[in-house]
């Protein structure tokens, strides 16, 4: 999961080549990689790739601080997804 998300962000969202390669714990906010619009682009990708819906209330700095926190957030979502399908 980390690899998939890191690759997507590196290829589609990083605008400054100096930030590559991207470490999983690099702050996506302090580095300026995520702004209000690239965040939504990322959310659309996550929703399509992982079959989840990200609620407005989950769009928070603590969930989207880095590749690592995004994965941690997605893992909290997976049981709900299974429950919904079960």
Partner 1 sequence: MTYLLQQLLTEAAAQHPQRPAISASNCLVSYSELDRISNQIARSLLHLGVAPGDRVAVLAPKSAAAVAGLYGVLKAGACYVPLDPKAPAQRLGYVVQDCGATVIVTDETRAAQAAALAGSLPGPGSVLVVSFTGSSPVAEESPEPLTGDRAIETDLAYILYTSGSTGLPKGVMISHRNSLTFVDWAAAAAGLSETDRICSPAPLHFDLSVFDVFATCRAAGCLAILPEGAATFPVSIAKWLTSERISVWYSVPSVLTLLASYGSLGQCDLSQLRTVIFAGEVFPPKHLAQLMAELPHPRYLNWYGPTETNVCTAFEVPPGSAEAGPAPIGKACANTEVFAVTSEGHRVSRPGEIGELYVRGPSLMRGYWGQPAKTREALIPSPFRPECEELVYRTGDLVTLDPSGNYLYVGRRDSMVKIRGYRVELGEVEAALYRHPAIREAAVLPVPDELLGSRLRAVVTADDAASLARQSVLDHCRQWLPSYMVPDVVEIREALPRTSTGKVDRAGLASE
Binding residues (CB under 8 A) for partner 1: these are 11, 15-17, 29, 32, 34-37, 39-40, 56-57, 59-61, 64
Considering beta carbons, is residue 23 or 60 the nearer one to partner 1? 60
CB of 61 to partner 1, least distance (A): 6
Does residue 45 contact residue 11 with C-beta atoms inside 8 Å?
A: no
CB of 16 to partner 1, least distance (A): 6
Q: Determine contact, residues 28/34, Cβ cutoff 8 Å.
A: yes
Between CA 45 and CA 55, with CA 51 as vertex, the angle to 5 degrees is 75
Give the contacts of 62 (CB within 8 A, at least 6 positions apart): 69
Q: How far is the CB of 60 from partner 1 (least distance, A)?
A: 6
Nearer to partner 1, 15 or 85 (CB): 15
């Amino acid at each position: 999961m980390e690899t998939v998300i890191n690759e997507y962000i590196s290829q589609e969202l990083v605008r400054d080549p100096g930030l590559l390669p991207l470490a999983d714990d690099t702050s996506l906010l302090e580095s300026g990689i995520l702004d209000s619009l690239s965040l939504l682009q990322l959310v659309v990708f996550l929703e399509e790739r992982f079959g989840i819906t990200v609620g407005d209330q989950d769009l928070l700095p603590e969930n989207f601080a880095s590749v690592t926190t995004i994965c941690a957030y997605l893992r909290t979502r997976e049981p709900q997804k299974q429950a919904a399908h079960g």
